[in-house]
Structure 1
């Protein structure tokens, strides 16, 4: 059996490729740790380069380690070193006697040192294999002409000390991005769209000045965790790939203003995304498989544009009202999943466009009239009851007026109901009349607030029905 090679995942993988009869494959957990850093390990040319780098002495090294048995427990080694020091300090013992007594404990220390010596060899070999891998990838790029002349020219310019701020390699049929791109430290904009990239190397994290990154229309299945180190990144476009998730580290890209992750296979968003992306203004996540928003999305206080149409979203968070700068919201075509919208949507007082078409919404909030800046409204393809489909088809202004009138009627009916109830409870005293007067005044205040009953509404602006004391009473 091989010595425990979990500490050396690349070596373990290469040894299995080198001789599968004598070396077991690494565990799935180990292979998963390898994939992000060494995505081309399955390529035969890469494997050939790596296996050729395995020294002939590796068999002997592993054999010796196996014969040594398990490494001593660290506490036992520490105790043995302490005992040896105590023995050597005894003045009552001659040097020969001290050496003989110390020998009792020296075996444990020597075993530890032998283990340490051989494991250093394995660690050195692991590092060497990593370098061989990088060199082999570069060689593979050039031999297959996957880096065209323009890419080579860009890299040469960077290597010669030239300042390169913007690179556009869109539509160049690139299959690999050389690690050397991480050396172009002055890069501000990088466009790699419309290629055949399957991964982005971790070296991208070295581009500390990068502000724009476009990797749309590739074949990416994941983004590197290191993307979170791009602290100056303002625009990130990863649309039209095969992404199933975004790394949690993306929340560290605190300068992001625009994020487009549409046309992917996302099933969720990072839980902390909203806490980090406080400057994000545009979020495009349409045509994915999202079922829910993380609660943190409502912490994106700078958000002006949110497009989440064509997903499987089951509900809009109640805290959506926090997004007071939101101007455009598209939640259309979530089909049978989206059944309604919360009352707090009417806190979005800067909303200009709202698309709720092609869902299962039966009614919109009674306070909908509060969305005074709303210019475009789509409620098509919903089983609407409030308002009716006829009213909804007439646009935002007609819907607002309908909801105003509806609320006024609700207030009037409630006034009448409470008045009748008060009349029944008077029992010959004046308390019922006081209650009727109190209700009348409150209802008058509410109708004036929403633009009816001749009130000016000039002291503090509109209030939602839910904010009045009367509303809570009923």
Structure 2
């Protein structure tokens, strides 16, 4: 919710000097004065090393006024809750479209419905209007929940933009105070080596270009015309964007733009149909374009060490050939459910995120050999039961989480040889078992599973016996009742049967 100190140092500092601001009572905290903010702490924060004038009350007061809208929005969002994940937003949009489609169909059926002969035209119109209003109200009621998800997502999106603008505003305020270093770097001219490469490409077909660590700040659009290029390494530079013209590299199989300053990838990257290896790690990405799902030849994808909040919803539906996926050191709260359809996936590294769990169908990744979800800390508290279906899993690292029990299916991981369970509040298996190694853990979990199955079978047998006993008593009662009925009928028939009366019995004595 709060701006990250490394990305927004000024804004984070000024917000830390504010009290908690309520959206309903923005000016109700008497001890706080916008013109005279509270004095700085005894130990100045690191930002004072670069901006010592922040300690000046007037500078801080000006900054406080400038970001008041950010503080109010932050307070409101703290009340409304965290941002919905990308998959929930996509699902909400889909549901709204589905409801609108159903509404159109219902209204069309209503308009075309025949008027009963006994109802006159005026009454029928009133009836249709009332029915239409009811249908629309029901649709709006159904849409309200999904709309609230989208509205919350939009508020968080707007808050993100507001935060960015506020940081820029604070920088300008500080500059005007005369305490900011104005030694800005000039945008460099095109690197001579880049010019040489472009000239060579005109005379002969280049297949590989390595511009690693050249301090490049931009890539000329002309690079998109090197049509024969197969491998392009732009890692370790200062690139802030990749030109759309990269779509012209139709034969490109390897693209490495790691360790740059990229904040986004162009949508045109989805046109690289032959791309097999893509490395965009170590940048400033907070989202991947949905078009990346069109790179269906991808075998390796590394998006680690960014600021990703989510992955494209259809990533797993489209990238069926992917074998290695690295998403560690991001801010992911969930993995899309579609990832379970990556049947070729062998390596999945998602450590150091904010994962709250793994998809329930994770067991469908039957070719997965390495799974690393360590260091999701307080967010990851359990593993799905389908984990035991990862029949080819060899290495599993779930250390530094909050898992207190392994799933009962764990013993089925027959190929597992490397296991790290450190720094978890594990109860099953206990620490003394964990210390004995992976085989001991498997045996313990197998015995635990067998005990559970035995207990379930015992309960099942008891239920069967109870049913049988109850059934025997019921059948016995039924048989006795039938027998009594038959005997009673026979006796009744015998005693009361109609026939000629014995005249001897009628004689007077």
TM-score (norm 2): 0.54
Change (3 A) 1:184 1:422: closer
Residue 150 in structure 1 maps to residue 193 in structure 2: yes
Give the match for residue 228 of structure 2. 186
- Classify the secondary structure of the residue corresponding to 1:318: coil
Corresponding residue to 2:343 among 282, 301, 310? 301
CA RMSD of aligned residues (A): 2.1
Map 1:74-85; keep pairs closer than 5 Å.
none
Change (3 A) 1:170 1:402: same
- Classify the secondary structure of the residue corresponding to 1:244: coil
- Classify the secondary structure of the residue corresponding to 2:447: helix
Q: Tell me how far 1:147 sits from its aligned partner.
A: 2.8
CA deviations on 1:409-466 (whole Å, 9 max, x unpaired) are 22333444455566666659989xxxxxxxxxxxxxxxxxxxxxxxxxxxxxxxxxxx
Residue 226 in structure 1 maps to residue 268 in structure 2: yes
Corresponding residue to 1:358 among 392, 397, 400? 400
Question: In the aligned structure 2, how far is the partner of 1:409 from the partner of 1:250?
Answer: 47
In structure 2, runs of 5+ residues without a counterpart are 1-185, 474-509
Change (3 A) 1:410 1:230: same
Change (3 A) 1:239 1:358: same
Question: In the aligned structure 2, how far is the partner of 1:222 from the partner of 1:248?
Answer: 12
Q: Tell me how far 1:205 sits from its aligned partner.
A: 0.4
Q: Tell me how far 1:380 sits from its aligned partner.
A: 1.0
CA deviations on 1:372-397 (whole Å, 9 max, x unpaired) are 00011111111111111221232221
Corresponding residue to 2:287 among 241, 245, 249? 245
- Is the 2:386–2:409 contact (alpha carbons within 8 Å) kept by the matching residues of 1? no
Q: Tell me how far 1:275 sits from its aligned partner.
A: 1.1
Corresponding residue to 2:436 among 390, 394, 418? 394
Q: Tell me how far 1:303 sits from its aligned partner.
A: 0.5
Give the match for residue 73 of structure 2. none
Question: In the aligned structure 2, how far is the partner of 1:418 from the partner of 1:144?
Answer: 76
In structure 1, runs of 5+ residues without a counterpart are 1-142, 432-474
Give the match for residue 314 of structure 1. 356
- Is the 1:379–1:393 contact (alpha carbons within 8 Å) kept by the matching residues of 2? no
Give the match for residue 56 of structure 1. none
- Is the 1:239–1:261 contact (alpha carbons within 8 Å) kept by the matching residues of 2? yes
- Is the 2:188–2:217 contact (alpha carbons within 8 Å) kept by the matching residues of 1? no
- Classify the secondary structure of the residue corresponding to 2:361: helix
Question: In the aligned structure 2, how far is the partner of 1:185 from the partner of 1:424?
Answer: 78
Residue 200 in structure 1 maps to residue 254 in structure 2: no
Change (3 A) 1:369 1:145: same
The count of residues paired between Structure 1 and Structure 2 equals 289
Residue 168 in structure 1 maps to residue 204 in structure 2: no
- Is the 1:198–1:220 contact (alpha carbons within 8 Å) kept by the matching residues of 2? yes
Give the match for residue 413 of structure 2. 371
Q: Tell me how far 1:296 sits from its aligned partner.
A: 1.1
Q: Tell me how far 1:293 sits from its aligned partner.
A: 1.0
CA deviations on 1:240-261 (whole Å, 9 max, x unpaired) are 0000000000000000000000
Question: In the aligned structure 2, how far is the partner of 1:419 from the partner of 1:275?
Answer: 44
Task: Select the structure of larger CA radius of gyration.
Answer: 2
Q: Tell me how far 1:183 sits from its aligned partner.
A: 1.0
Q: Tell me how far 1:298 sits from its aligned partner.
A: 1.0
Question: In the aligned structure 1, how far is the partner of 2:469 from the partner of 2:309?
Answer: 63
